[in-house]
Amino acid sequence: MSDTQGKIFIYQIDVLTKITKQTIYKLIELKSIYLMVENHEILGLSAMFCLDIRKLSEVEKICYFPTSSNRK
């Protein structure tokens, strides 16, 4: 049907859950990644993770979202 080029995949990662490298690699396969961070405190730690991800592979865009009361 429609090509997946330019498609943004949104993944909600629980901060309490341990993020494994395999998960990161799976996200990298999609090339376009949006990482959702629920915890605001983890934001700093996630930023470091973001740098590592970019080194592993070229990611089009990585965005972090703080905790929001409005969940869909």
- Is residue 46 in some structural domain? yes
1-57 residue pLDDT tens: 444 444 444 444 444 445 555 665 565 555 444 444 443 344 444 544 444 444 444
Tell me if 2 is assigned to some domain.
Answer: no
* Token pair listed for 63: 């965005």
Domain that holds residue 50: 13-56
Residue 63 has pLDDT above 50, yes or no: no
Look at the chain and report how many structural domains it folds into.
1
Determine, yes or no, domain membership for 69. no
The Cα–Cα gap between 37 and 33 comes to 13
Asked whether residue 36 is assigned to any structural domain, the reply reads yes
Q: For residue 63, tell me if it sits in a domain.
A: no
E runs forming strands in the chain: 9-13, 33-37
The answer to whether position 66 is within a domain reads: no
pLDDT the model gives residue 21: 56
Is residue 37, in this structure, part of any structural domain at all?
Answer: yes
Q: Tell me whether residue 61 is in a domain.
A: no
Full-model pTM: 0.23
